[in-house]
Structure 1
Amino acid sequence: MTAARPSPAPRTRFVRAVTWTVSLLLAFAVVPAAVRPTAARADNPIVQHVYTADPAPLVYNGRVYLYTGHDEDGSTYFTMKDWRVWSSADMVNWTDHGSPLSLATFSWASSDAWAGQAVQRNGRFYWYVPVKNRATGRMAIGVAVSDSPTGPFRDALGHPLVENGEIDPTVFIDDDGQAYLYWGNPNLWYVRLNADMTSYSGSATRIPLTTAGFGTRTGDPDRPTLYEEGPWVYRRNGLYYLVFAAKCCSEFIAYSTAPGPTGPWTYRGTVMPTQGSSFTNHPGIVDFKGGSYFFYHNGALPGGGGFTRSVAVERFSYNADGTIPTIGMTSAGAPQVGTLDPYVRQEAETIAWGSGIETEPAGEGGRDVGWIDDGDFVKVKGVAFGTGASSFTARVSSGSVGGTVELRLGSPSGTLVGRCDVPNTGGWQAWTSVTCPVSGATGTQDLFLRFTGGSGYLLNMDWWRFTPRTTAAAPR
């Protein structure tokens, strides 16, 4: 008899207690009634099994890598101990890469793993983050480095890169190769980074916060402009954009533009109005596969709020004059770019929407989906079955009586095209492969892996793959 699996260390348990329908209703709460999408399209927030915040997207090698903060469950403050990485090739199915960076990475840091950004240069990845310096008690900016976008990351310096008590670093590399680090709350600062990305030339320069440059705030004589925090800087068609969280609290997202990376800045208006059950917000903008995408956070998940936030994304188009349109939060999210190939190995932790599941490090490498109860499911969007699949194989484990993986199309209760039984494998990291026949999986469909069985945790899944149906050769 195998001992019962202990509950996961305090991780997000709220999703297990709510149904698919309730999750959508809560997400809809941030959307005006006129633009409410159908349930089948709901993909925001893009991660449902942990709280995420402060998105920082990076496009690399045909994927978007998304670097986020991690709000602890039930937090009543910005209680954040690590950062997370996710990636997607299609903007809807996101792979969980876990936490390759935490406060423990920086021996000199004591707390506050807050909003950062990762950039790529010369085949290496540099992640700039604000943390509290144990020695001084002030917020400082550290930099971690890795040879992979998913880590692991190590402290590049062993001490802060810059420290003046302010937060929210963002990095921009201009077309001429000069890199700039910006950060600040209540001020806005920049330094010119050297080519090594871990040192800088000159001293920190404070950008003048003028009402012409950053809008007018009323009711706070100490902060006359709208600039609050969370800068995000980029260049498009020769124009420099500085997008930022404005006017706490509650914050909205605004932006300014300039002819150069250090100004002078001109205020351009609102990108995303105040909304979304979180009194903070944080922007991240990238272009990917012909589209422009705006990342932000809100409190749309069950239990969500100002200290338990969730990252979401919207696709948008610039106006003809280069201005950014006003963008509203939706539960539909961005449209899928392309389709997902079911005939190559797909990680189980590649998810468009998950209910009840958790992820964890897998004994065979990477991560697995675990802590699965009866009725939990994973949605994978836009799966291109083509002329049809004949079988399904999954890498699974179970330290209990096991369970069944139901393969359904369209919804958790949709058309059943296959059932794979998972036995007790002798442990939660004792892996085996199971295969079952499939019938009726054709065309491009949303696939739901629905888990059924008795009480308690049923099984873990590491990866899955379908086998295509072979077509007999036509007679001569």
Structure 2
Amino acid sequence: MSASTSGSAPAPAPAAGSSNSVLGKRYSNPVYDQDFPDPAVIQAGTRYYAYGTQGGGSNIQVLTSPDLTTWTTAADALPNVGTWASTGSTWAPEVVALSGRYVMFYVAHDNKSGKQCIGRAESAEPSGPFTDTRSAALICQTGLGGSIDPNPVRAANGNLYLYWKNDGNCCDKPVQLWVQQLAPDAGSVRGSPVALLSNTRGWQGNLIEAPEMVSHGGRYFLFYSANDYASDKYAVGYASCQGPTGPCTDRSTSPLLASDGAAAGPGHCYVLNLKDGSSVMFFHAWQPSAIGSSSPGRQLWLEPLVWHNGLPSVHQPS
């Protein structure tokens, strides 16, 4: 299936009996069958590291893998949140490698405002432990409900940018996706934040979140999730952008990736470009018979991301 420039629709699932492969290896979904919400994945050396929202007694869950398809648990990547925050709502971490060190952006409960806000932590190792030495959150739009779902990206121009969502649905405020340039050490922001996208499509419900900016073929694509995460309405869409700071145009008149008989509420995707030139999309999803349950919770899924005529397409969960 090729997504059109005016909208997109889910790609057909593989035929019965077929299987997907990544890096030449066949695999079965979910690739990790325990609760692992809001995944993000990086490669460091010969191993891959997946980071997820709190669970299993950890503030930040970590999985490691040699091949993207078999995953084992590691120790808490963030044993202690920053002094500005409190534990219990530690969400949606993403990590970027900078000159032999690793910087994590994560979400936690801001003690001063009572909102969810974005912090920054650093480690010499991809598995952590990461340490947040700041006395305040890095991004905290208190007047807009807080700030969540950070996505650090190095653009083709060499600059670092941070994308996120203002948490307006917490308190009956509008919700938008934002971007702001980061300093070279990713320790501060520069300029002013720019609003990129809001929930204007019917299928998106009352929110849009989990921005994931991807560069492909000289163009920029902003993937996102929308609707109620604890339902089968949650789904993934995308927008095309003229540059890393927009402007962006929503291309998903219907979801790019939506619920089916195999998985419910697929969302909070993360796109990983592999060294062989291919791309994969990680996301979490509920078992259709266990939507909203804590066990098994939101499991880790993986599907190939392909490009047709310069536009993205992903198989439905299979």
Amino acid at match of 2:189: Y
1:217 matched residue in structure 2 = 202
For 1:271, the equivalent position in structure 2 comes to: 256
Counterpart of 2:239, as a letter, is S
Q: 1:181 maps to what in 2?
A: 162
Checking the alignment, whether the CA contact within 8 Å between 1:69 and 1:82 is kept in structure 2 is yes
Cα displacement (A) at 1:301: 9.7
Report the secondary structure of 1:289's partner residue: coil
Output aligned runs, 1:225-244, within 5 Å: 228-244=208-224
Instruction: Give CA deviations for 1:376-432 in whole Å, capped at 9, x if unaligned.
Output: xxxxxxxxxxxxxxxxxxxxxxxxxxxxxxxxxxxxxxxxxxxxxxxxxxxxxxxxx
Q: How far did residue 149 of structure 1 move?
A: 0.6
Query: Is 1:192–2:181 an aligned residue pair?
Result: yes
Q: Which of 271, 274, 298 in structure 2 is aligned with 1:285?
A: 271
Unaligned runs of 5+ in 1: 1-30, 73-79, 331-476
Kindly provide the amino acid, as one letter, of the partner of residue 178 in structure 2. Answer: W
Q: Are 1:45 and 1:301, in contact at CA under 8 Å, matched by a contact in 2?
A: no
Using the TM superposition, give the Cα deviation of residue 71 of structure 1 relative to its aligned residue in structure 2, in angstroms: 4.1
Task: Measure, in 2, the Cα distance between the counterparts of 1:180 and 1:137.
Answer: 26
Q: Percent identity?
A: 27
- How far did residue 67 of structure 1 move? 1.3
Task: Look up the match of 2:35.
Answer: 51
> What is aligned with 1:370?
none
Q: Which residue of 1 aligns with 2:317?
A: 329
Q: Shift in Å at residue 241 of structure 1?
A: 1.1
Relative to structure 1, the CA distance from residue 53 to residue 302 in structure 2 (aligned partners, 3 Å threshold; closer, same or farther) is same
- The residue that corresponds to 1:96 in the other structure is 73
Query: Radius of gyration: which is bigger?
Result: 1
Match of 2:122 in 1: 145
Task: Please list, as runs of the form range in 1=range in 2, the aligned pairs for 1:443-454 lying within 5 A after superposition.
Answer: none
TM-score for the superposition, normalised by structure 1: 0.54
- Cα deviation, residue 328, structure 1: 0.9
- The SS at the match of 1:271 is coil
Q: Which has the higher contact order (CA 8 A, sep 6+)?
A: 2
Question: For residues 407-426 of structure 1, what are the structure 2 equivalents within 5 Å?
Answer: none
What secondary structure, in the 3-state scheme, does the structure 1 residue paired with 2:222 have?
strand
Aligned to 1:22: none
Q: State which of 84, 106, 109 in structure 1 corresponds to 2:85.
A: 109
Preserved CA contact (<8 Å) 2:214 2:220: yes
Q: Does 1:314 find its partner at 2:309?
A: no
RMSD of equivalent CA atoms: 2.8
Check conservation: 2:303, 2:314, Cα contact below 8 A.
no
Q: 2:76, 2:39 → 1: CA distance?
A: 14
| TM-fit CA distance, 1:317 | 2.3
Q: Quick one: which amino acid aligns to residue 255 of structure 1?
A: Y
Whether the 8 Å contact between 1:105 and 1:155 is mirrored in structure 2 is: yes
User: In structure 2, what is the Cα distance between the partners aligned to 1:272 and 1:52?
Assistant: 19
Going from structure 1 to structure 2, the CA distance change for 1:280 and 1:112 (only over 3 Å counts) comes to farther
Partner of 1:168: 149
User: SS of the counterpart of 1:233?
Assistant: strand
In the alignment, the residues of structure 2 paired with residue 33 and residue 178 of structure 1 have an alpha-carbon distance, to the nearest angstrom, of 38
Partner of 1:62: 46
Letter in structure 2 aligned against 1:53: P
Q: Tell me which amino acid in the other structure corresponds to 1:318.
A: W
1:239 Cα offset (Å): 0.5
Is contact 2:236-2:266 (8 Å) kept? Answer: no
Per-residue CA deviation, residues 329-350 of structure 1 (Å, 9 max, x unaligned), is 12xxxxxxxxxxxxxxxxxxxx
**Partners of 2:119 and 2:139 within 8 A in 1:** yes
Contact 1:172 1:180 (C-alpha < 8 Å) held by counterparts: yes
Matched residue, 1:397: none
Q: How far apart are residue 277 of structure 1 and its match?
A: 5.2
Contact 2:257–2:266 (CA under 8 A) maintained in structure 1: no
8 Å CA contact retained: 1:45, 1:300: no
